[in-house]
Structure 1
Amino acid sequence: MPDQPNPDALLAPLRFPLLSAVDLPADLRLMSEDDLPALAHELRAFLIECVSRTGGHFAAGLGVVELTIALHYVFNTPDDRLVWDVGHQAYPHKILTGRRQQMLSLRQKGGISGFPKRCESPYDMLGVGHSSTSISAAMGMALAAARKGERRQVVAVIGDGALGAGLAFEALNHAGALDVDLLVVLNDNEMSISPPVGAISKHLARLLSGKLYTSVREGSKTALRGLPQIRELVGRWEEHMKGMVMPSTLFEELGFNYIGPIDGHDIGALIATLRNMRTMPGPRLLHVVTQKGKGYEPAEGQPVTYHGVAPFDRKTGRPRASGAGPTYTQIFGDWLCAAAARDERLIAITPAMCEGSGMTEFARRHPSRFFDVGIAEQHAVTLAAGMACEGLKPVVAIYSSFLQRAYDQLIHDVCLQGLDVTFAVDRAGQVGEDGPTHAGSFDLSFCRPIPGLVIMAPGDEDECHRLLQTAFEYPGPALVRYPRGVGAGVAVDRQAGTVPIGRARRRREGRDIALLAFGSLVPAACAAGDELGATVIDMRFVKPLDEELILELAATHELLVTLEENTIAGGAGAAVGELLAAHGSATRLLHLGLPDRYIDHASQAEQRAECGLDSAGILAAVRAVYSGPMTEPLASAG
Structure 2
Amino acid sequence: MKRYGILDTITGPADLRGLSYDSLSVLCASLREFIVDSVSKTGGHLASNLGVVELAVALEREFDSSRDRIIYDVGHQSYVHKILTGRRDRFGTLRQYGGLSGFMRPEESDTDPCVTGHASNSVSVALGMAHARTIRNQKYHVVAVIGDGAMTGGMAYEALNSAGTSGEPLLVVLNDNNMSIAQNVGGLSRHLSRLRVSPRYLHAKARVKERLARIPGGAAVSRAISRAKARVKRFVLPTSLFEQMGFTYLGPVDGHDLKSVCELLAQAKKMKKPVLLHVMTQKGRGYAPSEQEPEKYHGVSSFDPLTGRFEAAGEMDFSTFFGKELCSFAEKDGRICAITAAMPSGTGLGPFAFRFPTRFFDVGIAEEHAAAMAAGMSAQGLLPVVAIYSTFLQRAYDQLIHDVAISGLHVVFCVDRAGIVGADGATHNGVLDVAFLRAIPGMKIFCPSNFAELRSMLSDALYHEEGPIAIRYPRGAEGAFQRDTSAEPAACVREAERPDAVLLTHGILVNEALAAARLLEERGLRTQVWKVNRIDGALKEQLGRISEQADWCVVLEDVVQSGGLGETMAQIHRGRLDLLNTGDRFLPHGSVSDIYRVCGIDAESVADYITEKRKAGGNGLG
Q: Flag whether TM exceeds 0.5 (same fold).
A: yes
Query: How big is the shift at 1:233?
Result: 5.5
Match of 2:252 in 1: 261
SS at match of 1:129: coil
Deviation of residue 515 (structure 1)? 1.2
**Corresponding residue of 1:576:** 569
Moved more, 205-214 or 537-546: 205-214
State the secondary structure of the residue aligned to 1:89. coil
Q: Equivalent residue for 2:71?
A: 83
CA distance in 1, matches of 2:534, 2:112: 41
1:592-611 Cα deviation digits (max 9, x unpaired): 11112222111101111111
- In 1, the alpha carbon distance for the partners of 2:462 and 2:384 equals 9
TM-score where L is the length of structure 1:
0.91
**Is the alpha carbon distance of 1:23 and 1:561 closer, same or farther for their aligned partners in structure 2, counting shifts above 3 Å?**
same
Q: Would the alpha carbon gap of residues 623 and 198 (structure 1) be closer, same or farther in structure 2, given more than 3 Å must change?
A: farther
Q: Does 1:242 align with 2:233?
A: yes
- The alpha-carbon deviation at position 575 of structure 1 amounts to 2.2
Alpha-carbon shift at residue 319 of structure 1 (Å): 0.5
1:635 equivalent in structure 2: 621
Q: Deviation per CA, 1:389-417, whole angstroms, max 9, x where unpaired?
A: 11111111000110111111111111111
Matches within 5 A, 1:192-207: 192-195=180-183, 201-207=193-199
Q: Give 2:145's match in structure 1, choosing from 150, 153, 157.
A: 157
Aligned partner letter, 2:229: E
Query: 2:196 touches 2:202 (CA, 8 Å); kept in 1?
Result: no
Asked if the contact 1:325–1:489 (Cα under 8 Å) also holds between the matched residues in 2, the reply is: no
Which of 5, 29, 40 is the equivalent residue of 1:17? 5
* 2:424 is aligned with 1:434: yes
Return the offset for 1:486.
Answer: 1.1
AA in 2 matched with 1:634: G
Alignment counterpart, residue 505 of structure 1, candidates 491, 510, 515: 491
The answer to whether the 8 Å contact 1:209/1:276 transfers is no
CA contact (8 A) 1:472 1:478 kept: no
Hey, what does 1:65 align to over in structure 2?
53
Higher alpha-carbon deviation: 29-38 or 544-553:
544-553
Conservation of the 8 A alpha-carbon contact between 2:502 and 2:549: no
AA matched with 1:239: A
Tell me: CA distance 1:209–1:596, structure 2 relative to 1, closer, same or farther (3 Å): farther
Match of residue 395 from structure 1: 385
Give the Cα–Cα distance (whole angstroms) in 2 for the partners of residues 287 and 17 of structure 1: 31
| TM-fit CA distance, 1:66 | 0.4
1:244 to partner: Cα distance: 4.5
Residue 598 in 1 paired to residue 598 in 2?
A: no
8 A Cα contact 1:465 1:492, kept in partner: no
Relative to structure 1, the CA distance from residue 591 to residue 43 in structure 2 (aligned partners, 3 Å threshold; closer, same or farther) is same
Aligned-pair identity in percent equals 43
Contact 1:61–1:89 (CA under 8 A) maintained in structure 2: yes
User: Does residue 296 of structure 2 align to residue 305 of structure 1?
Assistant: yes
Q: 1:270 to 1:250 in 2, by over 3 A?
A: same
Counterpart for residue 103 of structure 2: 115
1:355 maps to which of 342, 345, 365: 345
Alpha-carbon separation, structure 1, partners of 2:216 and 2:252: 29
Counterpart of 1:114 in 2: which secondary structure? coil
Runs (4 or more) in structure 1 with deviation over 6 Å come to 196-200, 218-228
The structural deviation recorded for 1:75 is 1.2
Cα–Cα, structure 1 residues 198 and 96, in superposed 2: closer, same or farther, change >3 Å? farther
Aligned equivalent of 2:242: 251
**Residue ranges of structure 1 left out of the alignment (5+ in a row):** 1-7
Residue 207 (structure 1) shift: 4.7
Partner Cα separation in structure 2 for residue 538 and residue 342 of structure 1: 32
The equivalent of 1:210 in structure 2 is 202
TM-score by length of 2: 0.93
Distance in 2 (alpha carbons) for counterparts of 1:167 and 1:109: 32
Partner of 2:371: 381
Q: 1:428 to 1:633 in 2, by over 3 A?
A: same
Which of the numbers 20, 28, 42 marks the counterpart of 1:40? 28
113-122 vs 329-338, greater mean Cα deviation: 329-338
1:185 aligns with 2:149: no
Q: Is contact 1:508–1:526 with CA below 8 Å preserved after alignment?
A: yes
More moved, 148-157 vs 529-538: 529-538
Distance in 2 (CA, whole Å) between partners of 1:202 and 1:596 is 54
Q: After superposition, what is the alpha-carbon deviation per residue over 1:154-185, rounded to whole angstroms, capped at 9, x for unaligned? A: 11100150111111111111111111110000
SS at structure 1 position matched to 2:577: strand
1:206 partner letter: S
Alignment partners' CA distance in 2, 1:540 and 1:276: 60
SS in 1 for 2:178: coil
1:553 counterpart residue number: 546
RMSD: 2.4
2:309 corresponds to 1:321? no
The 3-state SS of whatever aligns with 1:186 is strand
* Distance across 1 between alignment mates of 2:459 and 2:212: 66
> 1:162/1:564 Cα in 2 relative to 1: closer, same or farther (>3 Å)?
same
Counterpart Cα distance in 2 of 1:576 and 1:208: 71
Paired positions, count:
610
Paired residues for 1:461-540 under 5 Å: 461-473=451-463, 474-489=465-480, 499-500=486-487, 503-510=489-496, 511-530=499-518, 531=520, 532-540=525-533
Equivalent position amino acid for 1:271 in 2: C
In the alignment, the residues of structure 2 paired with residue 389 and residue 561 of structure 1 have an alpha-carbon distance, to the nearest angstrom, of 42
Give the secondary-structure state (helix, strand or coil) at the position aligned to 1:568: coil
Task: Check 1:471–1:210 CA distance in 2 against 1; reply closer, same or farther (3 A cut).
Answer: same
What amino acid does structure 1 have at the position aligned with 2:378? A
The C-alpha deviation readout for 1:529-584, integer Å capped at 9, x for no partner, is 23242111111112244544432332331111211110011112212223x1xxxx
Please give the alpha-carbon distance, in whole angstroms, between the structure 2 residues aligned to 1:442 and 1:350.
Answer: 20
Distance (Å, rounded) in 2 between the aligned partners of 1:605 and 1:141: 37
Residues 1:104 and 2:92 are matched in the alignment: yes
Relative distance call for 1:191 and 1:489 in structure 2 (3 A) is farther
Deviations for 1:498-543, whole angstroms, at most 9, x for unmatched residues?
944x711220111232111111210111122232421111111122
Structure 2 CA distance for aligned equivalents of residues 220 and 616 of structure 1: 78
Structure 1 residue 231 displacement after superposition: 7.7
Q: Any conservation in 2 of the 1:65–1:92 contact (CA below 8 Å)?
A: yes
- Out of 117, 122, 139, the residue aligned to residue 134 of structure 1 is 122
Q: Sort the Cα spacing of 1:255 and 1:525 in 2 relative to 1 into closer, same or farther, 3 A.
A: same
- Please give the alpha-carbon distance, in whole angstroms, between the structure 2 residues aligned to 1:177 and 1:520: 49
Contact 2:66 2:111 in 1 (8 A): yes
Q: Distance in 1 between matches of 2:473 and 2:408?
A: 23
Specify the code of the residue in structure 2 equivalent to 1:360.
G
Deviations 1:166-218 (A, max 9, x none): 11111111111111110000000101115389786344212587233245458
Q: Over residues 230-289 of structure 1, what are the superposed CA-to-partner deviations in whole Å (9 max), with x where a residue is unaligned?
A: 887644421133334432110000000001111001001101111111101110000001
Change (3 A) 1:339 1:17: same
Which shifted more, 380-389 or 243-252? 243-252
Q: 2:304 & 2:149 partners in 1: Cα distance?
A: 28
Separation (CA, whole Å) in 1 of partners of 2:514 and 2:201 = 65
Q: Are the counterparts in 2 of residues 109 and 602 from structure 1 also a CA contact under 8 Å?
A: yes
Gap regions ≥5 residues in structure 2: none
Shift of the 445–55 alpha-carbon distance from structure 1 to 2, 3 Å rule, reads same
**For residue 349 of structure 1, what is the amino acid of its counterpart?**
I
Aligned to 1:335: 325
